[in-house]
Amino acid sequence: MKSRLPLPPPSALLPSFRGALHDRRTAAAIGRLLGVAMLVCMVTGVLSHYLQHPPSWLANDLPARPTWGYRLNQGLHVGVGIAAIPLLFGKLWTVYPKLFVWPALKGVRHALERLSVAVLVAGAVFELLTGLLNTVQWYPWPFSFVPVHFAVGWLLTGALLLHLAVKWPDIKAYWWQRSAATRALPQEPENAPDRRSLLTGLAVAVGAVTVTTVGQSFTPLKDVDLLAPRHPDHGPLGLPVNRTAAAAGTTRVDTAAWRLTVAGPRPYELTLDELAALPQYEVELPIACVEGWSKNAHWTGVRIKDLTERAGAPGAALRVVSLEQHGAYRVMDMGRTYARDPLTLLALRLNGQVLTPDHGYPARIIAPNRPGVLQTKWVTRLEVR
């Protein structure tokens, strides 16, 4: 006897999605843009990583041109990452019903596919969230940002490539609005205008988040820089700062006691007056921070290659030592390509004024195509390597 009432199947308790646009054409149309954004972030991220921490075999061959190379690279990394936020929201909204498929696991193959999608979703949200919080220097997690953001970047790129391989037939079939597969979707062609309007909405959102933040590195748009964590007009001598003299313990440098020591085949010391009496050059080079902000500035100072030539090692690679007592970038290694470049200066002046303490008084490095953390401030010692 069947006396018990049949229980509803578990699938009946799951949400159902009758709304349009949770379909493969929409997923493919948003997904390809998001995929391009992710690849741009990965390539620029890896480039930035190796410009900042070059392996020893590469350190002397990194290019010093174009002078704006790192600025563009990092502006793209952060800008495209921000632009990817609306795309990721849109893509995940489109495929959200798949979270509730029933049966949840149909077999080993299905389980592996769902696991790879979980890694993809987790990695994508994680990278955009940690990257965005890093730009405002907010670190609520217990791990170190740079190596973990780098590691999860590889995890995410791998999951993305695997996803592309698994979904390749769908990507191909739904690439075009008028493809046979798209036209065979259940609510086509009635859905097409609504889908276009959704994609237009996402494009507006991408434009809005880009325009209101990109001014922190693309200075012509600085007047609409409303939401970026930096603004080109906010900073001493018209240039933002990251590490301050107060943080570095270099607020009061005794100018009379300060010496530049150059160690090499013919070592020597210079006072600030002697340094200022050497031939001075003016260059226009950007400070470009790994966090995405950047700005061009005019720098005046002594060419590094003149200083190494005087030490008997023209154009040699250098180790640069700062006055600061602590800090991950107190000692900076400079490869040959930068050290011999005529634009690389030990700068004494910024935008026509003597450096302020926060900009590295009495002397700082400025070199083309390098991350801001390697533009060492409060320099006291150069060692030919």
Partner 1 sequence: MAGRYAVGALGLALMGLGASLVWAQSPWDVAVWLVGAIVLHDGLIAPLVLLVGLGGALTRPGVRGPLRAALVTAGCLTAIALPDILRPGPKNNATVLPLDYVRNWLVLLGVVGFGAVLVLAVRRVQAARRRRGL
Residues 93-112 binding partner 1 (CB under 8 A) are 93, 96, 99
Per CB under 8 A, contacts with partner 1 among 350-369 are 358
Question: Is residue 299 classed as helix, strand or coil in its secondary structure?
Answer: strand
Site string for partner 1, 5-44 (x = CB under 8 A): --------------x-------------------------
Whose Cβ is closer to partner 1: residue 82's or residue 290's?
A: 82
Nearest CB to partner 1, comparing residues 102 and 143: 143
Minimum CB separation from partner 1 for residue 156, in Å? 7
- Sites for partner 1 among residues 61-90 (CB under 8 A): 82, 85-86, 89-90
Strands 364-366 and 345-350: antiparallel
Residue 235 region by backbone torsions, left for phi larger than 0, else alpha for psi between -120 and 50, else beta: left
Checking phi first, is residue 204 left (phi over 0); if not, alpha (psi -120 to 50) or beta?
A: alpha
Angle of helix 24-52 versus helix 145-173 axis, rounded to 10: 150
Q: Catalogue the long-range contacts made by 11-20 (C-beta closer than 8 Å, 24 or more residues apart).
A: 11/102, 11/103, 14/100, 14/102, 15/97, 15/100, 16/97, 16/100, 17/96, 17/97, 20/187, 20/191, 20/194, 20/195
- Number of residues located near partner 1, criterion CB under 8 A: 79
Q: Considering the complex, what minimum distance in angstroms separates the CB of residue 211 from partner 1?
A: 10
User: Which pair of structure tokens corresponds to residue 339?
Assistant: 């050290």
Nearer to partner 1, 72 or 239 (CB): 239
Among 58, 101, 104, 136, the residue binding partner 1 under the rule CB under 8 A is 136
Q: Which position among 11, 102, 154, 342 is part of the footprint of partner 1 (CB under 8 A)?
A: 154
Could you say which residues in the range 199-258 bind partner 1, by CB under 8 A? Answer: 200-202, 204-206, 208-209, 212-213, 225-227, 229-231, 234-235, 240-244, 247
